[in-house]
Amino acid sequence: MAGLPERLTKAAATSLLAGALGGAALLAGEVLAAKARRYAKPTMGLALRTSMGPASAPPLRLVLLGDSAAVGVGVEWLSDTVGGQLARLVAEGTPETGPRHVLLSSVGVAGSRSTDLATQVARALLGTKPDVAVVLIGSYDATSIRNPEEAAAHLGQAVRRLRAAGVQVVVGTCPDLGAMRSMAPPLRQIAGLLGRRIAKAQARAVAEAGGAVVDLAAETGAVFRADAGTLCYDGFHPSADGYRVWAHALYPAVARAAMTGV
CA distances from 92 to 52, 86, 191, 214, 256 (A): 9, 10, 37, 21, 14
186, 236 contact by CB (below 8 A): no
Given the residues 51, 101, 227, 234, select the one marked as catalytic: 234
Bridge partner residues of 64 (DSSP): 106, 134
Rounded Cα–Cα distance for residues 51 and 83 (Å): 11
68 catalytic residue (yes or no): yes
Given the residues 106, 116, 182, 237, select the one marked as catalytic: 237
Given the residues 68, 114, 139, 182, select the one marked as catalytic: 68
Rounded Cα–Cα distance for residues 223 and 220 (Å): 5
Active site residues: 68, 234, 237
